[in-house]
Amino acid sequence: MSESADPAKPATTGADRQPATKPTAEQPTEQAKKAKKPKPAKQRKPATPEQQERRKAIIRWVVFIGVGAILTVLLYFLLSALIPRWWAQVVGRQAGGRISTGILLGLSYGFVFTLLPLVVLAQAMHRSFSWRARTIIVLVAAALTAPNLMTLGISIGNSPAAHAGERTLDVTAPGFRQATLWGVILGAVTGAIVITLLLLWERRGQELKLLRARLDQLEKELPSALPTPPESPDSR
């Protein structure tokens, strides 16, 4: 007899049978995708208080130098038409037509009236001064450059007053203008050295104050941090 097919079990074909696909390394699963997290963006470290103070000091220094330069240029243009003749006569009377005196006067004027404005201008960097006091200091520094500015106006000026002052200096104070230039160079170099030493000395003083304050704080905290010594048996 032939075996009859079970009606409860439907016949399955090859098309109905589909093998289960397994995830490969090239096809990541959804869990692997979720596990990947984006890298956090790098953030810049905030500036320390010392860096902020240095930036503020540099900005203040640039502002004061800019204000002083502007005032100096304005002073030069305002007085260039009147001062050359008068200044040449003043220097000529001091030199008396002698070349040695003219050179000595030029070196003195150039050196002194370059060094003094730089030193005075450096005082405006002190934090204890108000803005009004700093403005006055800048004005004083600009006024101290007047002798060198008057000589500069005679040397490079194109006005009739400048040419007249140049002729007067060549006759009554020979060598004065060239010596003034060398005095300005020497004064600028000396001023830079003096200002650098003053800044280093001031910074050293601030560091010493901080160290002393830290030492006083440690001396106050030291007795409480030390352990109490055990009592000896004889004292009981």
Query: pTM for the whole thing?
Result: 0.57
Give the separation between CA 206 and CA 84, rounded to whole angstroms.
Answer: 47
Give the separation between CA 191 and CA 114, rounded to whole angstroms.
Answer: 8
Q: What is the pLDDT of residue 42?
A: 59
- Per domain, the residue ranges of the chain are 53-190
pLDDT in tens, 34-44: 555 555 555 66
Q: Crossing angle, helix 49-79 and helix 131-144, to 10 degrees?
A: 50
What confidence tier does 189 reach under pLDDT thresholds 50, 70, 90?
very high
